[in-house]
Amino acid sequence: MIEQLINLLPSALDEIKYVKETKEKTKEVQRKKQQEKIEAISKIKSAVIATKAYIYDSRELGNSSREEEKKLSEKWIIASKAIWTYDRILFDIADVKASGWADPNEWKKLKNKVSTVNLDKIIEQCEYHITNIK
C-alpha cells in the first residue's frame, strides 16, 4: 500500500505543478486584459483632452484649423478601435466624434445617434471603467 502511494507521488506532484502553472497563466491573461482595457480608456481620455484643448483654442483664441480637426478625427478613430471590445457605447460615441470632426457639417445629424457627445460625460464613463477594472 505504501509502495503504491510512493509510486503515485510523482504523478500527483506533476498534477499540482500543472494546476499551479495554469492558475499563473490565467492570472497573467487577466492582467494583460486589464492593461489593454486601461490603454483603451487612456486613448479615449487622450482624445477628450485633445478635443477640449482644441475647442478652447478655437472659442477663446479664435484658432480653428481644419488640419487640427482632421487630427482630432484620427485620434477619435484610434480611440474607437481601442475601446470597441470593452464598451460599445463609448465606441459609438468615439465613432461619432471621429465622423463629426472629419465633417463638421454632419454634427447635428450624428449627435442624435448616441446618448451623449458631452466630453465631461465621456470622462465620467472612463473613470467608471477605471474604478471597476477586474
Render pLDDT for 98-125 as a digit per residue (tens, 0 to 9).
999 999 999 888 988 888 889 999 999 9
pLDDT per residue as tens digits for the range 20-67: 777 788 888 889 999 999 999 999 999 999 999 999 999 999 988 999
Handedness of CA 71, 76, 77, 82 (dihedral sign): positive
| CB-CB contact of 77 with 96 (8 Å) | no
| Block residue for cell numbers 477594472 | 133
pLDDT per residue as tens digits for the range 55-95: 999 999 998 899 999 999 999 999 999 999 999 999 999 99
Note down the domain range covering 37: 7-131
| CB-CB contact of 78 with 39 (8 Å) | no
- Higher-pLDDT residue of 17 and 130 is 130
Domain count, the chain: 1
User: Is residue 16 in a domain?
Assistant: yes
Strand blocks (E) in 14-116: none
User: Is residue 2 in a domain?
Assistant: no
Q: Burial code of 71-101, b = ≥16 C-beta within 10 A, e = fewer?
A: ebbebbbbbbebbeebbeebbbbbbbbbbbb
User: Is residue 28 in a domain?
Assistant: yes
Among 48, 93, 40, CA closest to 72: 48
pLDDT for res 13 = 66
User: Is residue 1 in a domain?
Assistant: no
